[in-house]
Chains A and B, each alone.
Chain A
Amino acid sequence: MDKMPKWADVVLIPLISLLLAAILSALVILAIGENPAEAVNLMVTGALGSTYGWGYTLYYATNFMFTGLAVAVAFHARMFNIGGEGQAMLGGLGVAIVCLYVDWPHWSIALLAACAASMMFGAAWAAIPAYLQAKRGSHIVITTIMFNFIAAAFLNYMLVNVMRPEGSMDPATARFSETVHLPTLHELLAPIGINFSKAAPANISLLVAILACFVVWALIWRTRLGYEIRSYGKTETGAVYAGISPVRITIVAMLISGALAGLMAINNVMGEAERLVLNSTEGAGFIGIAVALMGRSHPFGVFLAAILFGFLYQGGAELALWTSIPRELIVVIQALVILFTGALDNMVRTPLEKLFLSLRKGSA
């Protein structure tokens, strides 16, 4: 009873939505008196034309892979986790505690510990909204929004009143020690003879993110838990009939989601800043929503969409540098992508379904 082939659903609809978003963005650029073709050109050379540009693109993409996966896992259980931002902030706190207060012999052990801590902190921050949704029926969207603000206030308190080094005015922790410095792509690629830019922040977290994509894929499509999450997301009553506990799935899916969002901190806190600063997440938690929608909640889709948004982010920064187009253009593009791939999905889907239906009738 499929109205249209699967490839159209998976590839065609996101591409049309992206095209619509791109056309509208081009109109916006035109309206503020700049040349869209030139802007695209600048973005491509700035983000993909050098290893420096690639280094930034991949750095941003790493963040978005984690947050995109986080939103995607919750989507599979039919939950909308807007709290990625707060969970990632708390993940940052976990990383900072691990890196500041423990003396690590080697970065690799520190990375493992930081992964564990960030996932734990992120999951813990998702746990209360998850519990309230599962047990008390409090809408997860509202509670996770509230928890974003609570996280921001909490982090502000921790950085200003507790973790700020003596005598420093800056609301940030001290720098992490040299031993927990994560190898950048430059350091990773130099031994095999590739000269990658030294200044770019992309680091080994990228590999962790790709690994996370595989793990999430295996979890969702190759394990019993993943099956339970998907069937709960598809039909709750059916899942309950099959003996799947809604409370358990809601909580477990949100914990995984929160852990993935928290894990982002190994990239932005440990890999890039090497200390915890205010607003270290820079909205990456929200971009995860666009990435998950664009990637159709599939880890490979999330991977591609994250790189696309990494490109947009780095390209947007270059645009702001060389033209009078401010960085906020990216926010507009992000909004349009969310709008077309998420909210206005039926606007694209319905005509397309009709088209495929009439094509089928014609051939039959």
Chain B
Amino acid sequence: MDFLTLIQIFDSTIRLATPLLLACLAGLYSERAGIFDIGLEGKMLMAAFFSAAIAAVSGSVWLGLLAGIASSLLLSGLHGLASITFRGNQLISGVAINFLAAGMTVLVAQDWFQQGGRTPSLFGGGRFPPIKWPFADALSDVPVIGPIYSELLSGHSILVYVALLAVPATWWVLYRTRFGLRLRAVGENPAAVDTAGVSVVGLRYAAVAICGVLCGIAGAYLATALQAGFVKDMTAGRGFIALAALIFAKWRPWQAMGACLLFGLLQAVALRFQNIDLGGVTIPVQVMDALPYVLTVVILAGFVGKAIPPRAGGEPYVKER
């Protein structure tokens, strides 16, 4: 494997890790506040459709992004309503949201565009263009540093950089602000937060809303940057890989980035090579597909450092008994 192939694989790793990272951070906010969210997949899918649909109709990818975020927020609101206000089962609510998105996107797509559940292909202003960093062309011939700068770092869409910047931002919000402290507290011991006179319901809705915005960006990235338009079920389990990455990272932002890059790398390798030959032993492509999930189960099992979720996760908060 030569250097350029390696650069190309890492390049596509970054592209593929971006939606995972955004969704993973989305889940991080929600679960750190004590709201389990297995509806990441559905929210991304909904946002993917509405961003592509609005971008196709209006020709503006920014309007598409807004529509994607709005649709994802709507589902977040539903999740909040079910799991915070009505104290329902958060997992069941998440399952319902996934199905709602899977059904509604195709239904609406068919009604609006009559193309068998897809949106028209996006072009021009309907997509996020790659951003070329300064001197990218000039430096591309420099050995080693050139390809790294012009191929790997430069030339991604703005949402990739947004996702990467969201990692330190999330770290800062969680660990260096009052809001973050309260958010983490509400996921561990909501009664204490309540006693301190801070609204548990308000904090949890805020967390769920942030989750909606990030899932919205993730979905918009899928449909308007990674690919050019929406196709049925285009998230293809990414929401669950993000969930796996979140557990893998033990609900911490920097580690989340590491996990998402790792899982992105697995996807990139699976995409480029079908079966990998390792000195006589052939690794079938399906192993690559299954690896994120297997790794997550191993981590969950606690054989390699136990993953302990926020203590109040999944429990609706009841103020008085």
Minimal beta-carbon separation of B41 from chain A (angstroms): 10
Distance between A43 CB and nearest chain B CB, rounded to angstroms = 15
The CA of A343 and the CA of B114, in the complex, are separated in Å by 33
> Is B100 interfacial (CB 8 A cutoff)?
yes
Question: Which of A95-103, A143-151, A203-211, A242-250 makes up part of the contact surface?
Answer: A143-151
Query: For chain B, which range describes its interface: under 10, 10 to 19, 20 to 34, or 35 or more residues?
Result: 35 or more
Please tell me the size bucket of the interface on A: 35 or more
Near B by CB (< 8 A), chain A positions 330-351 give 330-336, 338-339, 342-347, 350
Contact B103 A335 (CB under 8 A): yes
- A32 and B110 CA atoms in complex are apart in Å by 9
Q: Chain A 309-343 against B: per-residue CB contact (8 Å), 1 yes, 0 no?
A: 00000000000000011101111111110110011
Which chain B residues border A332 with CB–CB below 8 Å? 99-100, 103-104, 107
A339 to B81, CA, bound (A): 11
| B117 at interface by CB-CB < 8 Å | yes
Task: Write the B99-128 contact mask toward A (1 if CB under 8 angstroms, else 0).
Answer: 110111111101100100100000000000
Determine the distance from Cα of A334 to Cα of B104 in the docked complex, in whole angstroms: 11
Q: Is B76 an interface residue (CB 8 A)?
A: no
A300 within 8 A of B: no
- Interchain CB contact (< 8 A) of B286 among A136, A157, A338, A339: A157
CB pair A344 B82 closer than 8 Å:
yes
A293 within 8 A of B: yes
B243 & A343 in contact (Cβ 8 Å cutoff): no
A154 proximal to B (CB < 8 A): yes
Please give, as numbers and ranges, the residues of chain B lying within 8 Å of A260 by CB-CB distance.
Answer: none
B157 at the interface (CB under 8 A from A): no
A342 and B237 in contact, given A156-B289, A334-B99 (Cβ under 8 angstroms): no
B226 at the interface (CB under 8 A from A): no
Q: Which residues of the partner chain B approach A146 to less than 8 Å between Cβ atoms?
A: 240, 244, 293-294, 296-297, 300
Interface of B is mostly: helix
Q: Complex formed: what's the CA distance from A147 to B296 in Å? A: 10
- In the bound complex, what is the Cα–Cα distance between A142 and B89 (angstroms)? 15
**B129 interface residue, CB < 8 Å from A?**
no
- Whether B166 is near chain A, meaning CB under 8 Å from some CB there, is no
Q: Please tell me if B305 contacts chain A, counting CB pairs below 8 Å.
A: no
CB-nearest residue of chain B to A149: B293
Cβ A326 vs Cβ B82 within 8 A: no
Please tell me if the beta carbons of B284 and A150 are within 8 angstroms of each other in the complex: no
Decide yes or no: A335 and B99 within 8 Å by CB, A32-B107, A136-B302, A326-B106 being known contacts. Answer: yes
For the complex formed, measure the closest distance between the CB of A282 and the CB atoms of chain B, giving whole angstroms. Answer: 13
Decide yes or no whether A82 CB sits under 8 A from chain B.
yes
Q: Digitize A61-74: 1 where CB-to-B-CB distance is under 8 Å, 0 elsewhere.
A: 00000000000000
A342 touches B93 (CB 8 A): yes
- Chain A residue nearest to B302 (CB atoms) is A136
Q: Which residues of B contact A325 (CB under 8 A)?
A: 107
- Tell me if A177 counts as interface (CB < 8 A to partner B): no
- A32–B293 Cα distance when bound, in Å, is 38
Give the residues in chain B near A342, CB-CB below 8 Å.
Answer: 88-89, 92-93, 95-96
Residues of B within 8 A of A137 (CB): 302
Query: Knowing A142-B296, A328-B106, A344-B88 touch, does A335 contact B286 (C-beta < 8 A)?
Result: no
Across the interface, do B301 and A132 meet the contact criterion of CB distance under 8 Å? yes
- Taking CB as reference atom, which chain B residue is nearest A341? B92
Task: Check if A121 is an interface residue, CB within 8 A of chain B.
Answer: no
Query: Given the complex, which residues of A lie within 8 Å of B91, measured CB to CB?
Result: 80, 82, 141
- Taking a contact as CB atoms closer than 8 A, the residue among B95, B106, B117, B243 that contacts A286 in the complex is B95
A33 at interface, CB cutoff 8 A:
yes
* A363 contacts chain B at the CB level, 8 A cutoff: no
- Once the chains bind, are B38 and A145 in contact (CB under 8 Å)? yes
Question: Cβ of A138 and Cβ of B301 under 8 Å apart?
Answer: yes
Residues of A contacting B107 with CB < 8 Å?
Answer: 28, 32, 325-326, 328-329, 332
Q: Does A198 contact B (CB under 8 A)?
A: no
Contacting pair B83 A143 (CB below 8 A): no
CB distance from A354 to the nearest CB of B (A): 14
Asked if B247 is at the interface (CB within 8 A of a chain A CB), the reply is: yes
Contact of B290 among A150, A335, A339 (CB under 8 A): A150
A289 touches B92 (CB 8 A): yes
A335 touches B89 (CB 8 A): no
- Kindly state the separation between the CA atoms of A329 and B117 in the bound complex, as whole angstroms: 12
Pick from A152, A328, A344: contact of B102, CB below 8 A. Answer: A328
Closest to A339 in B: B96
Distance A325 CA – B114 CA, assembled complex (angstroms): 11
User: A32 contacts which chain B residues (CB < 8 A)?
Assistant: 107-108, 110-111
Q: Is B97 an interface residue (CB 8 A)?
A: yes
A335–B296 CB distance below 8 A: no
Known: A147-B297, A326-B110. 19 other contacts (CB 8 A): A31-B111, A32-B108, A82-B91, A132-B297, A138-B301, A143-B300, A146-B240, A160-B286, A326-B117, A328-B102, A331-B102, A331-B106, A335-B97, A335-B99, A335-B102, A339-B100, A342-B93, A343-B86, A343-B90
Question: Hey, which bits of chain A sit against chain B, CB under 8 A?
Answer: 28, 31-33, 80, 82, 128, 132, 136-139, 141-143, 145-147, 149-150, 152-154, 156-157, 160-161, 286, 289, 293, 324-326, 328-336, 338-339, 342-347, 350
13 contacts between A and B (CB under 8 A): A31-B111, A146-B296, A149-B240, A149-B293, A153-B290, A153-B293, A160-B286, A324-B111, A328-B106, A331-B103, A334-B99, A339-B100, A342-B92
